[in-house]
Amino acid sequence: MPSAPRVPRWDAHRLPDARGRNFLVTGGNAGIGYFVAEQLAATGATVVIGCRDRARAEAAIGSVRSRIPGATVRHVPLDLADRASLKASVDALGLDRLDAVVHNAGVLLDDPPRRETRDGLELMFATNHLGHFALTHHLAPLLAATPGSRIVTTGSFAAKSERLDLDDLQSTRDYRPKRTYARSKLAQMLFAVELDRRLRACGSTTLSVLVHPGGALDSLTPSRPPVHVRTTGERLRNLPLGLVVQGKDTVAWPAVRAVLDPAVRGGLMLSPRAFGLRGTPEAEPLWKQLTDTRTAERLWAASCDLTGTDPVFPAPATGERPVAPEASRVRPSGGHVR
């Protein structure tokens, strides 16, 4: 019996070559998304930054190119809160294949009042969850045309203690900004897990992978002017916090691994190994609320109704269903993921 192929141990500092591949990073102009885009660009891949603001996107692109001469990185206008614009954004990609999309962009409002999109949807839920849900629908043909493509969804530790109120997804009765944000991220995470189930059921080669970055501070994040500027004083004052959290360059690692590591399989959740807050990315068991298939199915149905879309991936032709070698499946430490 032939031996299973060896899979190299993942090293965040030695990323595999990805020349010829195309990656889309939503919100890749700032924060964690910027470092995801920068690190993916270093592999030789074509990286597209999805962003509403052209000037901010161009600043990010300039920063990437200043650090990675010859990097292939460009911008596509993308406003996740504007449902009607998403198809045009996907058409503007001008690609015939897409190897991965990183659903990273997000909105966090700190104070009331409650805000709505032009479609009358609560802004954080509409942007963080529904926008990515609808975007996946429009990207489905490109992803399906690319064997082994990946949909990487960025969750949040803030969602761990929350539960969805399926009767008040728009937070019309109970609007508390931090809770509404956490629930929008929980919805994203449930979407990623439910998407994995649906992709498997139709035999698709596309993988849905969930990540949460852990804890990050701007003061621990290296400068990338004009995208981000950190002073030496800020870094020194907050250096002790590096025992618990880390910079945004490092918390980008789970998403980067989810995109690039050939050992990653659908349905995994990757997070920093030290209490989910810092360290190298490893697979961890799904949180209990993420295994609630009934809630995930009801959320999916509600999301279809609210967006008028359904991220459906066509099944491969008979006899083409892939079988991943056992050795290529990353398993979580200390638990089992479905």
What tokens appear for 226 in the block? 């004009």
Could you list the beta-strand ranges (E) of the chain.
22-26, 46-51, 72-77, 100-103, 150-154, 207-211, 269-274, 278-284
Report the Cα–Cα distance between both ends of the chain, in Å, rounded: 27
Cα 18 to the center of its chain, rounded Å:
18
How far is 177 from 167, CA to CA, in rounded Å?
18
- Distant-in-sequence, close-in-space partners of 11: CB < 8 Å, separation ≥ 6: none
The reply to whether 175 belongs to the active site is no
3-class SS of residue 66:
helix
Set 23, 157, 181, 191: catalytic member: 181
Which amino acid, one-letter code, is at 280?
Answer: T
Q: What would the two tokens of residue 254 be?
A: 């789970």
Contact of 127 with 107, CB cutoff 8 Å = yes
CA distances from 37 to 29, 47, 330 (A): 8, 7, 23
Tell me which residues are annotated as active site: 181
